[in-house]
Amino acid sequence: MTTRDTETLADLMSERAGKRGSGLPTWEQVAKRAVDPVTDYRPSPNLLWKVASGQDVKINPPLVRSIAAAFSLPLDRVQMAAARQFIGLQVDDPFDTPAGDDDAVVRVAHAPDRTGDDMPATKEFLRRAAAGEGDD
């Protein structure tokens, strides 16, 4: 089992469907629920299986939105998992930004081997944004 900070789209999908005899839905059943709410795009069961098995596919926003809809998952979680799997980015808060009263959430896409110390300009931008500087 992976954590949300490391899961790929294949991890996320294969945990929820396609395993014969497991009681989980088949890819045909998932495909019936996989409808992009923006474009009405509907991926085939075979395409969903390919994504879940880690094969290279053409990834695009309608496919990601349809997968989120199929599993009733938050779109941002599915987008982050897709970024990890298909372009090798880690999406998280590399600065360990403390939770504030304003409910601000920091997410930065970066190479997996990078830390906040490797991104001084981004860190400065976030500091200035939090302090309300540069709103002119």
Model's pTM, two decimal places? 0.69
Tokens linked to 2: 């992976």
Question: pLDDT by residue (tens digit) across 50-103?
Answer: 999 999 999 999 999 999 999 999 999 999 899 888 888 776 676 777 666 666
